[in-house]
Each structure stands twice: as structure tokens, then as C-alpha cells.
Amino acid sequence: MTTEQIQAMQQKELNKRLWDIANDLRGNMEASEFKNYILGLIFYRYLSAKTENYANNLLKEDGITYAEAWKDNELRDALEEELIKNIGYCIEPENLFSSLLALDKTGEFSVEDLQRAIKAIESSTLGQESEDDFDNLFDDMDLQNSRLGRTNEEKSKLLIKVMHNIAAIDFHFEDAEIDIIGDAYEYLISQFAATAGKKAGEFYTPQQVSEILARITTLGKDKVRSVYDPTCGSGSLLLRVGKKAKVFNYVGQELTSTTYNLARMNMLLHGVKYDRFDIKNVDTLTEPDAAGTSKYEIIVANPPYSAKWEAKPEWINDPRFSNYGKLAPKSKADFAFIQHMVYHLDDNGVMAVVLPHGVLFRGAAEGVIRKVLIEKYNYLDAVIGLPANIFFGTSIPTCILIFKKCREQEDNILFIDASNEFEKNKNQNRLTDANVEKIVNTYKNRETIDKYSYVAPMSEIEENDYNLNIPRYVDTFEEETEIDLDDIKRQLEEIDKEIELANKKLQVYFDELGV
């Protein structure tokens, strides 16, 4: 079974269950609200299963269960210490997801039990190395929200129903070929609240696009010291890199608090240990101390497109921006993100960023920055044009820019036009495995392919005044088939004769009928 088929199968299963769960909640609240409960409970189930499995493995030789061992004070202390040390948190047997489901069988479950269990997870990390990674992790799941029900009994009845539905999903957590948290969010938004999902594309990157970035940045690498995403959203790009190479340290920043929580959940849910990731809830551009002066081996990003930013004049002295002579315009932060990432890219590193096509040709300050990146530093390695309408929430075509500080091919830039390489779906276009393979192989082989790719010498880039608009380099023009006007004329004459003959026949019938 191909990756594409596995993804489709897992996605279909997830969507079916989410539909059932969302329908339970839909009458009570909007999707922009109930997504927080669904995702929070999915994550709670995962943390519980991980705790139970880890504890039972430790106790296998003793022949007792986690619940039985917890009753022994000595064993309990040892288990708690081991769990905190290795998975970063501890959930007591009575607070496990499965234990709360069991309470429902006797009619004893209450929303207060769920509240207690979730609070206990965060409390178990206090004073531990993992504290920051669990702090306020479930804040978006307000269990006192009156929309869940007017009384505790109504809230409890609704929540336990959702929990039973979640319990029935086979998530394949750590072996998943889909981004469970990101995919679940996108599906909920797209199905039940389109207006709430206008900016979903800003933090969620389609799997096939993530695949391209991950494969290109890890070419020739099986181990990666660090991977960084300054606008990490739900963390899908970071995690995809981790599927292609062993990553020792994941670093990300995310401005939106809710999405920041999703990213931390996603890291843990995909088996990334708490001490191997550092996700911060900050504004990447205006809080440079969050990333410090660290340099990263791989940088991947899908920043918010043409977002506004402060662009304060004094920031021209910021080491991230000071070597370009210009700041990115206030109305478009695209190049500010590029400059920030280039600053944090290690000398042997690779950087891949998804941006709107405007960065390729817009002038003024952006044109100056683009010229410095190419002419002075020679960091730009490739430009890859993607199809329109492949991102949720925006139909604009986008491109991938690849940067390297130490390039193997210093005298050219590779252009790939994959804008027509996609599978048309009902709501969105989609890159297939074959489309992805073609892009990656073309980049790897660095070859010119008619109407698809072109290796442009630096002299040609200079002649075009550092305008990178892809049609300047990749000619995809298809000549129209010549039309034989004489033949068309003959066809029209024959049609006229046929019409005349048909009219005569009709007239005969009309005469017989006396019409």
C-alpha cells in the first residue's frame, strides 16, 4: 500500500468519526468552539494510553497491573518518578481516560471527574523539566462552558458521549501518515464553520507540501541536529522532517495561543519526548530573543502570507535585517520572515519556505532585499511553483523557496513550474505522490525539463534584474492547433444543406396536417 493510500485510509477513518462527534456537539456550539473539546479529548486519550502502556510494560515481570501497583505506596512512588522522568507527566489510574469511561457504566461519571483528571496532568509536571511543555495545555477546553449544558448532568452526558466516540477511533498515533491534530482541525473547520477557518492555511500545511519540504531539506541526511519553524502552527512541518531523518531537537514559535497548544499536543502525540522540543508562544518577528542567536541545520516554514508587521525604523539595526539596507514593507512581512530565517540558518543548513508568488517579482524594498540575497550572498538555490488552491482557506498559487548558505551550484538557480501538476478534487486541488516525486527528483537531479524546469545561469537572473517570476524562466506555452478555415467553411456549408433539407421535410409534414 502506498503512502498516498495509507493517508487516504487513515484520513477517511478519522473524518467519519469526527463527523459523528461534531454532530453531537453541533447543536450546542459553533465549530470554532467545539474543535477545542474534540482535540483536547483526543490528546487526553493519547496521554492516558501512553501512561498506561508505559506503566504496564514496567510492571510486566511483576505480573500486576498499573492500577494494582498504584495501591502499593512504594511501587507508586517508583512508578511516578519513572513516568515523570521518561514521558514527562503522570496520570493516576483513577484519572485515566479508560477509567472515566468505566465510571459511565455505573452512571457515576461527572464533568468534575474530567476536570480533575486534566488538572492533575498539569499538576504532575510542576517543578519538573517538562512543566513548560504542559503548562495551560488544556486551557482552550473550558469544561464550565454553559454551551455544553445548563447543568453538570447535561455537560457530563454530552462529554462522555464524545469520549466514547473518541475511544472508538483507531488513531495509529505514532505510526500515523497523517497529521492527526492538524487534519482534525482542518476537517472540523471545513465541514462546519467555513468563516472560522479563513486563516487555517496559515498554520496547517497540506501533507504533500510538507512532504516536499521535508524531503528536500533532508536530502543526504539521516540525522539532523536541529529543525526550526518560526511560524510552526500545529507543528506539522517539524514532524514531517522527523519522519525523514532522526531529529534531536525540534524548535518552533507560534503567535496564536490556541495553535501553540495544538503544536505542543502534536509533538507529544507523535512520540516526541518533552526534552526534545521547545515550542514558544511568541511573535517571531517582534520578539527576536525567543530564537536568540541559535543556528539551525534545517529550517522549514509556511508563514502567514503577506501579513502586516510593525517594521519599526530602528529594526534596521537588528542583526537579522541590518545587512540588506531595507526593511520589508509594513503591509507585507514575507521578506521579514525570510531574513529572520536566513539569519538563523547554519552554514551547512537548508531552508525551505512556502510563500505567495509576489515575493518573486515585487519591487521597492522587497526587490532590494531579493537582490541582496541573490547577488551579494548567493543563498537562493531553487524556486518551485505550486498549483493554485492546494491550501485550505486560500486559493492563491504559492511557491517554495530553497535557501542554502553553502550551495553546491553557485552559478545558477533552479526553477520548477509544477503549477499544472495536481489532481483536481471537489473543494481543493491536491498534489499526488507522483507529483511530489517529480518535484523532488527534479530538484535532486537539478535538470532542465521542457515546459517544467530550467536551470537559470546567474547572468540570466541579472539580465532580468533579479525578477524571479517563474514564466520568465520556464516556458509552458502550448501552441494552439492550427485551424483549417477552408475545412471549417466546407463543414458549415454541409450543415446549411442539412438544415435546408430538414426544413423541406418538416414543411411536407405541416402541409399534410394543414398547419
Residue with cell string 475511544: 167
SS3 493: helix
Q: Are 243 and 179 in contact (CB under 8 A)?
A: no
Q: DSSP character for 283?
A: -
Which of 388, 303, 420, 410 is CA-nearest to residue 352?
303
SS3 352: strand
Residue 252 CA to residue 508 CA, distance in Å, equals 83
E strands, 408-515, where? 412-417, 423-424, 429-430, 453-457
> What is the mean predicted confidence (pLDDT) over 200-215?
77
| pLDDT tens digits along 256-313 | 888 898 889 888 888 899 999 999 999 999 987 777 778 999 999 999 999 999 999 9
Residue 481: predicted pLDDT: 67
How confident is residue 427, by pLDDT bands cut at 50, 70 and 90? Answer: confident
Whether the model pTM is above 0.85 = no
| pLDDT tens digits along 362-393 | 999 999 999 999 999 999 999 999 999 888 76
Does residue 93 carry a pLDDT above 80? yes
| pLDDT tens digits along 333-351 | 999 999 999 999 999 999 9
Number of CB atoms found within 10 A of residue 374's CB: 17
* Backbone torsions φ then ψ of 236, nearest 5 degrees: -65, -35
Residues 6+ apart with CB under 8 A from 157: 149
Residue 413: predicted pLDDT: 97
Q: Are strands 423-424 and 250-253 parallel, antiparallel or unpaired?
A: unpaired
SS3 362: coil
Which of 161, 180, 164 is CA-nearest to residue 13?
180
Does residue 190 carry a pLDDT above 60? no
Residue 348: predicted pLDDT: 93
Residue 297 CA to residue 217 CA, distance in Å, equals 9
* Backbone torsions φ then ψ of 296, nearest 5 degrees: -120, 145
Residue 203: predicted pLDDT: 46
> What is the mean predicted confidence (pLDDT) over 108-121?
95
How confident is residue 193, by pLDDT bands cut at 50, 70 and 90? Answer: very low
Cα–Cα distances (Å) from 43 to 50, 112, 265, 366, in that order, read: 11, 18, 7, 42
